[in-house]
């Protein structure tokens, strides 16, 4: 049996099942806070702000609150299901069962990005080895996902790869929520930093356990957004969320794992963290530029990092300009009632018959579907629009009744009926969900248009469009253009990069020239602050439609001429 070591000012405890973790009871704290203190895995994409409705638990014992009729059905409330973020224990012992859909599952993602192993000469960062077999680790510290690769530093061979959820997600799915958590929660900064370090250490230990070659980790190269880089380096990211949104630092001098406070797997290693460009354009973007090779090309390229905090880079070998747009977590499964991450049971692709509204879908794994991950959400929006079920403003079309049903969250399109779902509830997509997707896609598309406008280039000048991020591996580009996620550029110019951040970190680990190149990229790329761009809001408002107010520019996609 596991026990939390925290003390309490109240008698009793909260027992979390099926983990068997007892957490000292504090009646002023929500059940979600108890789970965080006890290290119990519980989904809370909104960071406990009562917006997502995904921290569902089954309560046995006297509690207060959490039975929100706007999120839970009457039957669920009667059965004892509560929202952990709104539910508070009584002074007596309480038993809390984490429901299957509220537990983080093993991430169903792959790491095959743009040539992760690389074909460049092997020039390791460390010229001398300490003894034994030296190993190196490349890390991508993502808002939602941690990814890593283990390298034999005697020959450059990639030995193992792994991914894991970022354990900080229990404190907020987006970066700003985590910064607020760090500021307003006693001990919040240390908790978030500790979760990041322990998550990275767990990942490295998995890499070592699955490696065919034993050895000691002597070098770590990590790429992450600016907020996570600050947490990792032990710096408060608070200034990033307030005007003028500048980080405390953009460069992070090399440091040993012991000094950094990393776990034992990398305590003796030298850590190098990719430099940032600005408050919301971090080292992961610099690593992405490095992996794409756009900085070596004469032709102009666009690089999209599609994630919760969407970043865009425009440029070539002579110049580059980058920006960040708060895209939101819609494509990570957040802010969408039926959304989930790319776990087994997530619907990853959708097709709708325009005549009958019959739905065909594919699901990750072999089980029943429990919701839609990002690629499925993207497909669904595009299919609803193509079938005429929703209009350009993201509203359900009057008279398009097929597939519609009244749900707890209002009128919705039923993707999977409750009798076929893993949760026993309809997988329903409602208007608020579509509005969330529209905000996400508008932010990313408008960011690219803002960069083009800033340098005075037309869309036609863009020769290559690179789509980075795990989501970029799976999305249907035609669906993406159908809803206007990207500017109207022919599909023949698009290329998915996969995990470009990890690929860039791996390239720097295997070739010290690439690390020096990354440092120069950071100083040679201009950061464009969209909050100071007077024309950005106009571009954003124009992009809040399907696919755009400039529908004519997207005509080639809507008419099927995708490679024009």
DSSP 183-210: HHSTTHHHHHHHHHHHHHHHHHHHHHHT
Question: 435, exposed or middle or buried, with CB in 10 Å at 0-12, 13-18, 19+?
Answer: middle
Q: What are the tens digits of pLDDT across the range 297-331? A: 999 999 999 877 789 999 999 999 999 998 777 88
Instruction: Output the pLDDT for position 105.
Output: 57
Asked whether the predicted pLDDT for residue 146 surpasses 80, the reply is yes
Q: What is the pLDDT of residue 343?
A: 84
> What pLDDT does residue 126 have?
73
Mean pLDDT check: name the lowest of 2-11, 85-94, 121-130.
Answer: 2-11
Enumerate the β-bridge partners of residue 413: 404, 429
Between helix 188-209 and helix 175-184 the angle, nearest 10°, is 130
Query: Which tens digit of pLDDT belongs to each residue from 171-202?
Result: 888 899 899 999 999 999 999 999 999 999 99
Question: What 3-state class would DSSP assign to 441?
Answer: helix
pLDDT at 6: 40
Sequence-separated (6 or more) residues with CB below 8 Å from residue 130 = 216, 218, 268
pLDDT at 131: 60
Sign of CA dihedral 83, 88, 90, 91: positive
Q: Where are the alpha helices (DSSP H) in 303-390?
A: 374-386
Kindly indicate the confidence band of residue 124, based on its pLDDT and cuts at 50, 70 and 90. confident
3-18 pLDDT, tens digit per residue, is 343 434 446 899 999 8
Q: Is pLDDT at 541 greater than 60 in this prediction?
A: yes
Preceding peptide of 244 cis, ω within 30°? yes
Whole-angstrom distance, CA of residue 508 vs CA of residue 502: 10
| pLDDT surpassing 60 at residue 117 | no
Res 114 pLDDT > 70: no
Beta strand 310-315 pairing with 300-305: antiparallel
What's the confidence (pLDDT) of residue 178? 94
User: pLDDT-derived band of residue 229, with 50, 70 and 90 as boundaries?
Assistant: very high
> Which SS3 state, helix, strand or coil, does residue 77 take?
helix
Measured CA to CA in angstroms, residue 290 lies from 354, 511, 546 at distances of 43, 12, 33
pLDDT given at position 5: 36
Concatenating the DSSP letter of every residue in 87-156 gives -EE-SS-EEEEEPGGGSPPPP------S-SS-SS--B-S-SS--SS-EEEEEEEE-SSEEEEEEEETTT-
Percent of the chain with pLDDT over 70: 91
Backbone angles phi, psi at 126, to 5 degrees: -90, 120
For residue 116, pLDDT over 60 is answered with: no
Among positive and negative, which fits the CA dihedral 153, 157, 159, 163? Answer: positive
CA distances from 250 to 257, 323, 519, 549 (A): 20, 15, 11, 37
What one-character DSSP code corresponds to residue 542? H
Return all residues near 113 (Cβ < 8 A) that are at least 6 apart: 291, 468, 473, 497, 498, 499, 500, 502, 503
Portion of the chain with pLDDT greater than 90, in percent: 66
| pLDDT higher at 38 or 261 | 261
Higher pLDDT, 247 or 406: 247
- The DSSP bridge partners found for residue 416 are 427
Residue 41's pLDDT band (cuts 50, 70, 90): confident
Alpha helices, H only, 239-364:
257-260, 283-292
Whether 459 has a pLDDT exceeding 60, the answer reads yes
Could you give all domains of the chain from N- to C-terminal order, each with its CATH number?
Answer: 2-102 (3.10.20.30), 134-282 (3.30.420.480), 287-329+437-558 (3.30.420), 332-432 (no CATH)
Q: Please give the distance of CA 398 from its chain centroid, rounded to a whole number.
A: 35
418 CB-contact burial (10 Å; exposed 0-12 / middle 13-18 / buried 19+): middle
Supply the pTM of this predicted model: 0.84
Q: How confident is the model at residue 564 (pLDDT cuts 50, 70, 90)?
A: very low
The pLDDT value recorded for residue 109 is 43
The reply to whether omega before 270 is within 30° of 0 (cis) is no
Q: Are 412 and 296 in contact (CB under 8 A)?
A: no
How many H helices and E strands in the chain?
A: 15, 26
The pLDDT of residue 3 is 36
Which one has a higher pLDDT value, 133 or 41?
A: 133
User: How does the average pLDDT of the chain come out, rounded?
Assistant: 88
Sort strands 94-98 and 56-60 into parallel, antiparallel or unpaired. Answer: antiparallel
């Amino acid at each position: 049996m596991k026990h939390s070591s925290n003390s309490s000012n109240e008698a009793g405890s909260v027992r979390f099942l099926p983990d068997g973790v007892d957490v000292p009871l504090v009646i002023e704290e929500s059940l979600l806070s108890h789970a965080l203190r006890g290290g119990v895995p519980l989904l809370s994409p909104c960071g406990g702000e009562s917006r997502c409705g995904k921290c569902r638990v089954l309560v046995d014992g006297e509690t207060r609150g959490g039975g929100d009729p706007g999120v839970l059905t009457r039957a669920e409330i009667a059965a004892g299901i509560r929202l952990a973020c709104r539910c508070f224990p009584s002074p007596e012992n309480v038993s809390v069962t984490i429901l299957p859909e509220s537990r983080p599952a093993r991430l169903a993602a792959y790491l095959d990005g743009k040539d992760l192993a690389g074909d460049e000469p092997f020039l390791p960062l460390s010229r001398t080895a300490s003894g034994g077999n030296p190993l190196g680790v490349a890390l991508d510290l993502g808002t939602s996902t941690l990814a890593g690769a283990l390298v034999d530093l005697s020959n450059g061979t990639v030995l193992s790869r792994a991914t894991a959820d970022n354990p900080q997600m229990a404190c907020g799915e987006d970066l700003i929520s985590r910064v607020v958590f760090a500021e307003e929660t006693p001990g919040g900064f240390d908790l978030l930093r500790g979760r990041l370090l322990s998550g990275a250490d767990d990942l490295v230990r998995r890499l070592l356990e699955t490696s065919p070659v034993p050895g000691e980790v002597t070098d770590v190269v990590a790429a992450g957004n600016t907020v996570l880089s600050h947490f990792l380096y032990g710096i408060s990211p608070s200034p990033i969320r307030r005007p003028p949104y500048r980080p405390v630092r953009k460069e992070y001098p090399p440091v040993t794992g012991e000094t950094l406070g990393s776990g034992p797997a990398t305590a003796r290693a030298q850590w190098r963290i990719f430099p940032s460009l600005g408050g919301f354009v971090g080292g992961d973007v610099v690593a992405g530029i490095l992996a794409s090779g756009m900085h070596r090309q004469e032709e102009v390229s666009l690089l999209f990092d599609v994630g919760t905090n969407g970043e865009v880079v425009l440029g070539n070998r002579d110049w580059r300009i980058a920006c960040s747009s708060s895209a939101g977590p819609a494509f990570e499964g957040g802010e969408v009632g039926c959304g989930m991450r790319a776990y087994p049971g997530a619907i990853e692709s959708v097709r709708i018959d325009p005549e009958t509204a019959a739905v065909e879908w594919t699901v990750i794994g072999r089980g029943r579907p429990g919701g839609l991950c990002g690629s499925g959400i993207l497909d669904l929006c595009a299919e609803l629009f193509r079938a005429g079920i929703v209009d350009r403003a993201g509203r359900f079309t009057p008279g398009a009744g097929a597939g519609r049903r009244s749900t707890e969250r209002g009128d919705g399109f039923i993707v999977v009926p409750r009798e076929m779902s893993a949760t026993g509830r309809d997988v329903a997509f409602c208007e608020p969900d579509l509005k969330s997707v529209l905000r996400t896609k508008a932010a990313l598309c408008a960011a690219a248009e803002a960069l083009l406008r800033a340098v005075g280039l037309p869309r036609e000048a863009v020769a290559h469009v690179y789509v980075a991020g795990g989501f970029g591996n799976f999305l249907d580009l035609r669906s993406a253009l159908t809803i206007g996620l990207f500017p109207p550029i022919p599909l023949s110019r698009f290329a998915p990069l996969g995990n470009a951040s990890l690929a860039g970190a791996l390239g720097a680990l295997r070739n010290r020239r690439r690390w020096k190149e990354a440092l120069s990229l950071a100083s040679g790329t201009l950061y464009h602050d969209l909050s100071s761009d007077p024309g950005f809001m106009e571009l954003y408002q124009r992009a809040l439609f399907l696919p755009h107010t400039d529908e004519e520019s997207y005509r080639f996609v809507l008419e099927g001429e995708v490679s024009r």
